[in-house]
Amino acid sequence: MTNQPRKPIVLLISVTILIALNLYTFIAAYPETYTPSPGINTQGTILAKDFSAYYVGTWRLWNNPSQVFHFGALGGAEPPTPPQPEAYKYLPSVRLFISPLLSLDYLRAGLAFAIVQVLVLPIMAYMLYRLLESKHLAVTFALMVIALLLPFPSPNGGLSLSYYWQWGEGQAKVFLAFLLLLSMYLGKKSKPLLSGVALALGFFDVRFGLLALPLFVMYNRKNLKTAIPSTIVALALSNIMLLYPGIGSGFINMVFGSGITTPLYYYSLIPFLTLMALIVVNFRELVAAFDYKRRFARFTDASETVESN
């Protein structure tokens, strides 16, 4: 480990500042959460915010499961999210986390979900610190900036367009990044069973689950015989509702319809760039983790580093 005795103090101050700046963006974005507008939608269609997809989809899971992936309002007893809810385009597992919020109305539930995601930011910072404790202070700080703020100031977007729309649309990308980082952190701590469960839960957006796989393998290198089965079992159990005919067929129609064409919106850059940055700074370790025949041992010089994780 690099001998940097002041690193924890410097990073603590930096993280505090980054989260404070993010809170400023949260405040700037709050009016967007209840304002009917095209939002970030590229087609300019006025819909309820993205959180409506999670909220209404979860309500349908327990009350009208065959219509979970139906686009548009169904009326009746369904919670109103005027003018109509966004389409749900993820695996059903995330609804396990949204279910407790059904006790609140749509707007309060969205605010509660955002607050939960704000509260996990310091935990994400701690996990990043532990994942990068062997790296230089500048590298760790750069990763913190990407994950906790991703600054891109704009007149109507606070200090970060990505986080502005994350909060304004009620998205779950911070929660997604948290689950994927948790999986890596638990792998580094030699807890492959829990690491696999965290990865499976973070697979609700398959794109980022797949992107995180190389890092998952790297951090669980010594325990893959436990980590991989754990992931598969947890992924199957958390999405077992796909076996329900209406849910399963709706999911398939979504995937082969509009689901696979979803653009990489601003808020998607939060998990995407965080994972990509981790891949870049751990590139030698990643090569070593997959280089079982040690053909690239001269280049990596990282086998001991990976093993020590």
Cα distance between residue 255 and residue 91, in whole Å: 10
How confident is the model over 93-113, as a mean pLDDT? 95
For residue 144, the Cα-to-chain-centroid distance in whole angstroms is 15
pLDDT tier at 199, thresholds 50, 70, 90: very high
Contacts of 90 (CB under 8 A, 6+ apart): 204, 205
pLDDT tier at 216, thresholds 50, 70, 90: very high
How confident is the model over 32-50, as a mean pLDDT? 72
pLDDT tier at 48, thresholds 50, 70, 90: confident
Contact in structure between 89 and 53 (CB atoms under 8 Å): yes
How confident is the model over 277-302, as a mean pLDDT? 80
Q: Copy the structure tokens of residue 201.
A: 């839960």
Look at 158 and 73; give whichever has higher pLDDT. 73
**Sign of the torsion angle spanned by Cα atoms 39, 110, 154, 274:** negative
How confident is the model over 46-60, as a mean pLDDT? 90
Cα distance between residue 63 and residue 76, in whole Å: 11
The reported pLDDT for the residue numbered 45 is: 64
pLDDT digits (tens, 9 = 90+) for 120-151: 999 999 999 999 999 999 999 999 999 999 99
The reported pLDDT for the residue numbered 234 is: 98
Cα pseudo-dihedral 135, 136, 138, 143, rounded to 10: 0
pLDDT digits (tens, 9 = 90+) for 236-253: 999 999 999 889 888 888
Is 228 strand, coil or helix? helix
How confident is the model over 35-41, as a mean pLDDT? 66
How confident is the model over 94-110, as a mean pLDDT? 94
The reported pLDDT for the residue numbered 131 is: 97
C-beta atoms surrounding 32 within 10 Å? 19
Cα distance between residue 205 and residue 189, in whole Å: 25
pTM: 0.91
For residue 25, the Cα-to-chain-centroid distance in whole angstroms is 19
* Radius of gyration in angstroms for the set of CA atoms belonging to the chain, rounded to a whole number: 20
Cα distance between residue 164 and residue 169, in whole Å: 8
The reported pLDDT for the residue numbered 307 is: 45
pLDDT digits (tens, 9 = 90+) for 152-189: 887 777 889 999 999 999 999 999 999 999 999 999 99
Share the mean pLDDT of the chain: 89
Go through 227-250 and write b for each residue having 16 or more CB atoms within 10 A of its CB, e for each that does not. Answer: bbebbeebbeebbebbebeebbeb
Look at the chain and count its residues.
309
The reported pLDDT for the residue numbered 299 is: 62
